[in-house]
Amino acid sequence: MSSPIIVVGHKNPDNDAISAAIGYAWLKNELARRDAKEGEEIPTYIPARLGPLPRETAGVLDKWGVDVPMVINNLFARVSDVMTPNPLSVKADAKIIEAGRILRKHNVQALVVTNEDGTYKGLISTRMIANRYISATDVLETEGATQMSVAADLIASLDQTVDTVMESQILTLDADGKLDEAVADIMDCPFREAVVLDEANMPIGIVTRSDIAVHPHRKVILVDHNEISQAAAGIEDAEVIEIIDHHRIADVSTVYPIKFLNMPVGSSATIVTLECQRYGIVPPKPIAAVLLSAVMTDTVVLKSPTATPTDKLVVDYLAGIVGMDPLEFGMEVFSFRGGDDDMPIDKLVSADSKEFELGEGTVLIAQHETTNLDAVMGREGEMREYMRGLIESKGYICVLLMVVRAVRT
Ligand SMILES: [Mn+2]
């Protein structure tokens, strides 16, 4: 089974970065199922996020019963991208002849040796068994030995238990470990195989030197960003297979031609919705609600200068599926965000912020949308102090915070 394809928004995710990832992963899974060919593996798309859930996202996902996307820390290739899962195993007290049977039957080179409870104990390979047999010829060195005594020792070996021949000093790996580091460790150790263990010490995979001859690249779809500085660590090591965005074109580059859909509309969720329509796939209520929430937050309930007539059409379409008045829906989403007077200052300033490489350095541009402008501006001194702190600690040229008012009309 090949690794799932990650759909992910930018660092410091805002509602659109997370919601567009959820919506697009859903659409891609629908399309994959629809276009599945007999006997071919259906790819899986998993939405992910690079940081904490904004409060409004948490509120929307909770209300509409949508799973919270998993957090990923990087896009480097991992051990699990090359391992063979569900390795064959043999109990430590089984006879060598039993191990030999399993190896032959499944035509593999090695078996994981387990304790009575299934936890990891060691590894037995065809090479280790061969060495045991070759060592039987040592009998010939002893006085009075004949070929018959060698044969007798060989027969005796079949009755020996696995743990007398197995190797216990095998490299063990974590499935989420960085592949590059695992490769260095595997090349350093005397055995061809490494065993992948879970937290309970159960063997879940096996990695051999031939598995690491090819360096895989994790497949990823970027939504709501196309700048390396805003992307997950390890983006250069990943294979970007699509980009869905509504920002300036920046510096993510690819080896192959890809679908790169960038439109000057109010949100990435708008483009995801247009894609649903283009493919004739109607999102169910929960997905429509998630997408609608993102159009509403990114366009500040269609009041922001970035809102376009296309966003308006998309809002009406999605609100129709959800069965709510768009404005009411939008105000509810903003209400999930909670009071701006008691929000932690780091959330208020940098929950929705992005780094931009400009000239010689980096600037941080943040925005905060609010239905209560007075409450936010009442904290101006506190915000400025926090922003100055960011300049000092992160070395930004400048930090810009835009406070945007969402108005009920
Ligand atoms: Mn956006």
Distance of CA 146 from the midpoint of ligand 1 (Å): 81
Distance of CA 16 from the midpoint of ligand 1 (Å): 5
| CATH domain 5-77+217-336 topology | inorganic pyrophosphatase (n-terminal core) (3.90.1640)
Question: How many residues are listed for the chain in this entry?
Answer: 409
pLDDT of residue 65: 98
pLDDT of residue 1: 59
| Cα–Cα nearest to 75, from 213, 193, 210, 228 | 228
Distance of CA 96 from the midpoint of ligand 1 (Å): 61
- What contacts 45, CB < 8 A, 6 or more positions away? 4, 5, 6, 7, 24, 25, 28, 29, 32, 221
Average pLDDT over residues 108-130: 94
Is pLDDT of 2 > 90? no
| 63-102 residues labelled b (16+ CB within 10 A) or e (exposed) | ebebeebeebebbbbbbbbbbeeebbbbbbebbbebbbee
Distance of CA 270 from the midpoint of ligand 1 (Å): 9
User: Could you tell me which CATH class the domain 345-405 is placed in?
Assistant: alpha beta
Distance of CA 12 from the midpoint of ligand 1 (Å): 12
Distance of CA 145 from the midpoint of ligand 1 (Å): 81
Average pLDDT over residues 258-263: 98
| 148-181 residues labelled b (16+ CB within 10 A) or e (exposed) | eebeebeeebeeebbbebbbeebbebbbeebbee
Distance of CA 159 from the midpoint of ligand 1 (Å): 67
pLDDT of residue 121: 97
Is pLDDT of 21 > 70? yes
Amino acid at 199: E
pLDDT of residue 146: 80
Per-residue pLDDT tens digits for 58-84: 999 999 999 999 999 999 999 999 999
pLDDT of residue 409: 47
Distance of CA 79 from the midpoint of ligand 1 (Å): 32
Pairwise CA distance, residues 301 & 315, whole Å = 9
Distance of CA 295 from the midpoint of ligand 1 (Å): 8
Distance of CA 63 from the midpoint of ligand 1 (Å): 22
Distance of CA 402 from the midpoint of ligand 1 (Å): 15
Distance of CA 9 from the midpoint of ligand 1 (Å): 9
CA angle 181, 185, 191 (to 5 degrees): 150
**DSSP secondary structure, 203-214, as one string:** EEEEEETTGGGS
Distance of CA 296 from the midpoint of ligand 1 (Å): 10
Per-residue pLDDT tens digits for 129-172: 888 888 877 777 777 778 888 888 888 888 899 999 999 999 99
Distance of CA 311 from the midpoint of ligand 1 (Å): 12
Report the chain's mean pLDDT, rounded to a whole number: 93
Distance of CA 18 from the midpoint of ligand 1 (Å): 9
User: Could you tell me which CATH class the domain 80-213 is placed in?
Assistant: alpha beta
Which runs of E-coded beta strand occur in 184-266?
A: 193-197, 203-208, 219-223, 239-245, 259-262
Pairwise CA distance, residues 58 & 60, whole Å = 6
Name the residue with higher pLDDT: 138 or 96.
Answer: 96
Q: Delimit the domains of the chain by residue range.
A: 5-77+217-336, 80-213, 345-405
Distance of CA 380 from the midpoint of ligand 1 (Å): 25
pTM of the full predicted structure?
A: 0.80
Pairwise CA distance, residues 255 & 239, whole Å = 8
Which runs of E-coded beta strand occur in 50-147?
A: 70-71, 84-85, 89-91, 110-114, 120-125
Distance of CA 364 from the midpoint of ligand 1 (Å): 16
Per-residue pLDDT tens digits for 335-376: 888 778 888 899 889 888 999 988 889 999 999 888 788 889
Distance of CA 216 from the midpoint of ligand 1 (Å): 30
